[in-house]
Amino acid sequence: MNINDLKEMDNTLITEDQLEEIELSEFVSEVGNLGSSSQYPGATWLDVQLTDGDNINVFVKY
């Protein structure tokens, strides 16, 4: 997964497997839990800090 693939995931609902890929990516410096999502009920909102200084938001249902 390259940095452009990560940026395309911004504001999307992802799977736990995709989250694991994100967390292991060399282009990710930090993943922060922002709590419950109002955009996707039942999902957790995560802020993903990228190594180029950008960030993306993703949502996952556990």
**Half-sphere exposure of 11 toward its Cβ, with a 13 Å CA cutoff?**
1
pTM of the model: 0.94
Confirm if 57 and 10 have CB atoms less than 8 A apart: yes
pLDDT at 24: 97
CA atoms of 8 and 46, how far apart (whole Å): 15
pLDDT at 47: 98
What phi and psi, each to the nearest 5 degrees, are found at residue 16? -65, -35
Nearest to 54 by CA among 1, 16, 4, 19: 4
pLDDT at 33: 98
pLDDT at 25: 98
One-letter amino acid identity for 47?
Answer: D
Q: Over the stretch 1-58, which tens digit does the pLDDT of each residue have?
A: 899 999 999 999 999 999 999 999 999 999 999 999 999 999 999 999 999 999 999 9
